Structure 1
């Protein structure tokens, strides 16, 4: 069980997991109420809100590549701490500034900090987990830590800090500064237990030649574009149907509690036993169903049911995406691979926020956005199943060995 694996992890891994908890606590205090805050407190329209969210996502993707390269070159501790400070400054700016251009600048700053922080943290986790099963377990532990932070964020935001109060942004900024401090003092200085290697410039061409990683990344854009719709759609749907839309932050708390309770059995009974592309396809089934079903939500309970459906899919795709990237990456440049993976996720999220804003501008009660979400889910599922049987991906994931046994009369 994962709680046993957590007790057996080293102190560096425990600090990383705690830093992930803090990062999600600080981030998810803001995410559920940000569209509502921008609409009610800053008087922005839906299209402007979509642009601000997209700006943060595109900034995140660009910074992820730089952050991944720097993590491999100068060490993960420095990049994790620097990213946390930058992100904290961006969140404080949302409360301080009023003009649209200033809020766009804060979104860019926020994405920059997240882009530095995320690949360095994931690279550190992957480096501490040696084999395939340990990588899946480590990223499942990461998922549990993230969801503990998310669940606490919803409770703190709604019951303690007062819904969409500007105070939330200052508290979030303080949490990221605290994250930077503990990371600086307790995460190893270099790349693990040894100095970071010198990586020749020509080595980066290996990434382009990695066909499995390139194609997986292209499909990942679609996955993240769909995934990010919940953060935009639920708050705006709540604003249309609920008398107090800030209660929507509790949905993230409910989802996180579900994930904390179920991530361990999902990992033990499913993720470690089925092919990763199948796990991702199954996850998209639940994510697509969760988002599309918002069309029929008429109250808080309906929104919560859609969110609970979505979180099942998240439990399947999150650790699988990270463990797949770590399996496709080369050990010497694992930070770069995770940086590129975060670049891809930012690209997908940015495109998703922009297109989601356009779709929802048809009207929250229109069936058009929700039908598009459903059709997009089916397309992604078909692509993932096809990718499962593509030879370069099978070879990269080690599946070709089983296929050879099949051809000789063995069983897969």
Structure 2
């Protein structure tokens, strides 16, 4: 299923989706508590905390293109196993760090580990999705990837909270053991096929394979697609960046934020799969347009909070504004994310696929890094409304232009 020349022991959906589940459990058992550890245990200030979190995010999202190229060169098995080992090393470093620099280096290692295995997993899902779409199935495997990943995002913090009374080193050390255990299991389970430089059973030269791996950078239509699509990750990141700032400005406590995070997870678990069926009927262009329209509406709602407070309109229940924001943002994200991911293998055709997914994620990481820096500056200078207006504009631009840079019919035929 992964390679025509390798019929034995193919990778299946029943293997790939649990991998994503376990990876997310290990990730979310640790990462939500990094800020607490850095401020309370290490005594770091806000600037140092921001640097660590930003470096960790960029070392993963920003390096996805290179991780995807490596996955196409090495093959998914070697990339995933390397990623497990590197992330485990990062978590062990976090468990034993007593200074800023060792904590920073360990956090970066956890991100690099993700840059190794995430594009490889997405490439496997893309290959499986392409195979089943060829057989006439309309099921979007990326919707399932988001679904099981969100279950891990809910379960991970609960496990972390349960272990935290024993100390953060126990939390991080347990996550390290989890990734080591998963790595050993996958070393035994994943098929030992060769790198993606063998396509369709035909060997390719090393130079040809390298050119193919970076072909995504020369695909101008896909680069435009990735640029417009990056607004999706930037938008969803506002749950963790701009929303807490807005709530703090309105006088809401951490309890409100926790409820909103829970609402986002519940919505994703409950609606991701039904919405993927709706998206299949709408088609990719209408789905992307509708999804980004929902995201733009979510940001417009938050822009109104500067004049209405926590209520969207007078007479509505308390916190109706932030709740409406979370609902609209999640609906848009659930429509846009799987639909866009499913289109990537149409762009790639028979070329190495993981690099395409890597570039898509790297564009999102760069958008988050630049966007959040600009939005923070705008908030300091001109107030929160300016950043929400800019986000409305960006989402509207993506809704308008992204449907015009979808894969051409001949690209879909080649895939």
After superposition, where does 1:11-410 map in structure 2 within 5 Å? 12-129=12-129, 130=131, 131=133, 134=137, 137-159=140-162, 161-162=164-165, 165-190=168-193, 197-198=203-204, 200=208, 201-203=210-212, 206-233=215-242, 245=254, 251-274=260-283, 275=285, 276-285=287-296, 288=299, 296=309, 306-355=325-374, 358=377, 362=380, 368-369=383-384, 371-389=386-404, 393-394=405-406, 396=408
Change (3 A) 1:394 1:86: closer
Change (3 A) 1:337 1:233: same
Q: Kindly state the Cα deviation for residue 34 of structure 1 after the two structures are TM-superposed.
A: 2.9
Mapped partners of 1:287, 1:328: distance in 2: 30
Which moved further from structure 2: 165-174 or 191-200? 191-200
Which moved further from structure 2: 231-240 or 308-317? 231-240
Change (3 A) 1:270 1:290: farther
Change (3 A) 1:31 1:329: same
TM-score by length of 2: 0.77
Please list the CA deviations of residues 273-300 of structure 1 after superposition, one character each: whole Å capped at 9, or x if unmatched: 2325314413523663687688755999
Q: Secondary structure at the match of 1:32?
A: helix
Q: Kindly state the Cα deviation for residue 220 of structure 1 after the two structures are TM-superposed.
A: 3.3
Tell me if the contact between 1:53 and 1:353 (Cα under 8 Å) persists in the aligned partners.
Answer: no
Aligned match of 2:6 = none
Q: Kindly state the Cα deviation for residue 242 of structure 1 after the two structures are TM-superposed.
A: 6.7
Which moved further from structure 2: 60-69 or 304-313? 304-313
Unpaired runs of 5+ in structure 1? 1-9, 402-412
Mapped partners of 2:80, 2:392: distance in 1: 33
Aligned length: 384
Q: Secondary structure at the match of 2:140?
A: helix
Change (3 A) 1:400 1:318: closer
Q: Kindly state the Cα deviation for residue 311 of structure 1 after the two structures are TM-superposed.
A: 2.6
Please list the CA deviations of residues 197-256 of structure 1 after superposition, one character each: whole Å capped at 9, or x if unmatched: 53604445643442210111222344333332322345667788677x489566544432
Change (3 A) 1:256 1:395: closer
Tell me if the contact between 1:154 and 1:250 (Cα under 8 Å) persists in the aligned partners.
Answer: no
Mapped partners of 2:294, 2:87: distance in 1: 29
Mapped partners of 2:220, 2:352: distance in 1: 16
Q: Kindly state the Cα deviation for residue 112 of structure 1 after the two structures are TM-superposed.
A: 0.8
Tell me if the contact between 1:251 and 1:304 (Cα under 8 Å) persists in the aligned partners.
Answer: yes
Mapped partners of 2:72, 2:33: distance in 1: 35
Tell me if the contact between 2:347 and 2:407 (Cα under 8 Å) persists in the aligned partners.
Answer: no
Change (3 A) 1:176 1:356: farther
Mapped partners of 1:184, 1:291: distance in 2: 47
Which moved further from structure 2: 157-166 or 177-186? 157-166
Change (3 A) 1:231 1:99: same
Mapped partners of 1:238, 1:40: distance in 2: 23
